């Protein structure tokens, strides 16, 4: 695993910005962009200052605006920074901001799985829950019931929920298992947009989120915060500005080597430990435990909220039983 130089220098790995995983065979432009001391220094400066104008950056680096423009373009083209125009005393000025502050590079090519069953779960399609306020849920059009009242997690409209949140407890989903007969599940991949749940919002509000499969604890991930610094790209206009706006897209994989989140191993629990076949029930639970180090809540975003147009995506890789022996 390789991390960028500006992360190793001690800057926060998780902030309101995005994080991204790169396939080394597809990220040549990114590597070229990072192959410059000047561009690394630009990233360091922007991480320290949130955003700066082109004139300020050129002055700080002691280079001309023309030379800086070339560097900024390379960083912008591979998605590391963004630029915008703002009005100034003497006309418009270009403002530069960090877009990605964490980059994960997986040098191991993912195993190719030919046979995969795909499905997607609506946020409100949980089959079991036990939650504590603050809590609530909403569809794309309106709140469902009243906030901070767990009774509304039973409301019939909860099936239309595109966002839900709670401080402690869990929600559990039944994963449809429609793999063909005489097959065994060799890998489960789950993707969801997640964040913490703070009073209002707080980008620095860690929460330890635990994952369970069929009541077996498969690992934990610490959400860095409940993000509200900018409006979520898909979050409806009627949504309150000081409420959860977006999360981080996380990918959980359980395979024959262990359990991983965004390519990082979080436990030794393997798919073979579950003995899953075409007849197996599969229950997936997301929890914030009472005894967690960081009890900071959980928010799950569906396709009408946050930054990613998706619900909870699930893929089941499978193979003939004889191939598993």
Residue-wise pLDDT tens digits, 16-35 = 344 444 455 557 788 888 88
Residue 216 and residue 169 share a domain: yes
CATH number at residue 276: 2.60.120.260
Tell me what percent of the chain is helix, strand and coil, each rounded to the nearest 5. Answer: 20, 40, 40
289 pLDDT tier (thresholds 50, 70, 90): very high
Tallying the residues shown for the chain, one arrives at 325
Confidence (pLDDT) at 26: 57
Contact 195, 308 (CB under 8 A): no
pLDDT of residue 176: 97
Q: Give the chain's domain count.
A: 2
Whether residue 280 contacts residue 177, with contact meaning beta carbons closer than 8 Å, is answered with: yes
Greater confidence, 93 or 121? 121
Same domain, residue pair 296 and 212: yes
Report pLDDT for 24: 54
Residue with tokens 């009242």: 149
Residue 287 and residue 14: Cα distance in Å, rounded?
21
For residues 272-283, average pLDDT: 97
In the predicted model, what is the mean pLDDT of residues 200-212? 95
Measure the CA–CA gap between 325 and 320, rounded to whole angstroms.
Answer: 10
Return the minimum-mean-pLDDT range out of 50-54, 99-103, 105-109, 240-244.
105-109
Is 292 contained in some domain?
Answer: yes
Q: Is the pLDDT of residue 47 over 60?
A: yes
- Whether 110 is in a domain gets the answer no
* The pLDDT of residue 235 is above 50: yes
Q: How confident is the model at residue 93 (pLDDT cuts 50, 70, 90)?
A: confident
For residues 187 and 295, state if they share a domain: yes
Q: Got the DSSP string for 209-223?
A: EEEEETTEEEEEEEE
Task: Tell me 277's DSSP state.
Answer: B
Q: Does residue 155 belong to any structural domain of this protein?
A: yes
Contact 266, 221 (CB under 8 A): yes
Which of 105, 134, 157 is the endpoint of a domain?
Answer: 105
Task: Give the 3-state DSSP-derived string for 8-63, with helices as H, strands as E and coil as C.
Answer: HCCCCCCCCCEEEEECCCCCHHHHHHHCCHHHHHHHHHHHHHCEEEHHHHHHHHCC
Residues of the domain holding 28: 5-105
My answer on whether 133 and 75 are in the same domain is no
Residues 267 and 179 in one domain: yes
Sheet with strand 81-88: strands edge to edge = 51-53, 91-98, 81-88
CATH, residue 65: 1.10.10.10
Output the six-digit token pair for 166. Answer: 């709670």
55-80 pLDDT tens trace: 999 999 999 999 999 999 999 988 88
240 and 291 co-located in one domain? yes
pLDDT digits (tens, 9 = 90+) for 132-165: 999 999 999 999 999 999 999 999 999 999 999 9
How far, in Å, CA of 315 to CA of 252, rounded?
10
Q: What is the pLDDT of residue 112?
A: 56
At 171 the three-state DSSP class reads strand
Helical axes 65-77 vs 54-61, angle rounded to 10° = 110
Residues 121 and 101 occupy one common structural domain: no
- On whether both 85 and 136 belong to a single domain, the answer is no
| Least confident segment among 4-13, 20-29, 258-267, 282-291 | 4-13
- Mean pLDDT, range 123-128, rounded to an integer: 98
Average pLDDT score, the chain: 87
Domain boundary among 65, 83, 105: 105
**Domain identity same for 219 and 314:** yes
Dihedral pair phi/psi, residue 151, rounded to 5°: -60, -30
pLDDT at site 108: 56
Same domain, 262 and 316: yes
Q: Do 10 and 134 sit in the same domain of this protein?
A: no
Residues 128 and 98 in one domain: no
Q: Is residue 111 part of a domain?
A: no
Contacts of 28 (CB under 8 A, 6+ apart): none
Per-residue pLDDT, 324: 46
- Please state the pTM of the whole predicted model: 0.71
Q: Would you state the pLDDT for residue 325? A: 45
Q: Rounded CA gap, 268 and 193, in Å?
A: 24
């Amino acid at each position: 695993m390789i991390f960028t130089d500006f992360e190793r220098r001690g800057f926060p790995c998780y902030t309101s910005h995005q994080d991204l995983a790169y396939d080394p065979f597809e990220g040549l432009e990114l590597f070229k962009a990072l192959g410059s001391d000047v561009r690394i220094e630009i990233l360091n400066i922007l991480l320290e200052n949130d955003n700066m104008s082109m004139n300020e950056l050129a002055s700080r680096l002691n280079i001309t605006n023309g030379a800086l423009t070339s560097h900024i373009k390379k960083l912008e083209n591979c998605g590391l920074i963004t630029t915008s125009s703002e009005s100034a005393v003497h006309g418009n000025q270009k403002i530069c901001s960090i877009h990605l502050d964490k980059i994960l590079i997986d040098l191991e090519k993912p195993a190719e799985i030919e046979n995969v069953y795909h499905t997607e779960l609506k946020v409100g399609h949980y089959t079991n829950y036990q939650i504590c306020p603050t809590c609530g849920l909403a569809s794309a059009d309106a709140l469902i019931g009243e906030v901070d009242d767990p009774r509304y997690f039973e409301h019939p409209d909860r099936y239309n929920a595109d966002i839900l949140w709670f401080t402690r407890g869990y929600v559990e989903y039944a994963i449809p298992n429609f793999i063909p007969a005489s097959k065994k599940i060799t890998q489960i991949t789950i993707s969801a947009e997640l964040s913490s749940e703070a009073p209002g919002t707080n980008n620095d509000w860690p929460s330890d989120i635990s994952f369970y499969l069929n009541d077996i604890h498969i690992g934990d991930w610490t959400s860095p915060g409940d993000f509200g610094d900018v409006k979520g790209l898909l979050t409806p206009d009627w949504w309150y500005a000081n409420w959860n706006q977006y999360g981080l897209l996380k990918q959980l994989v359980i395979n024959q080597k262990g359990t991983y989140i965004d390519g990082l191993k979080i436990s030794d629990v393997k798919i073979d430990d579950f003995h899953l076949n075409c007849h197996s029930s599969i229950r997936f639970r997301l929890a914030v435990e009472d005894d967690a180090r960081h009890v900071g809540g959980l928010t799950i975003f569906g396709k009408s909220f946050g930054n990613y147009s998706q619900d909870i995506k699930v893929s089941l890789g499978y193979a003939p039983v004889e191939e598993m022996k």
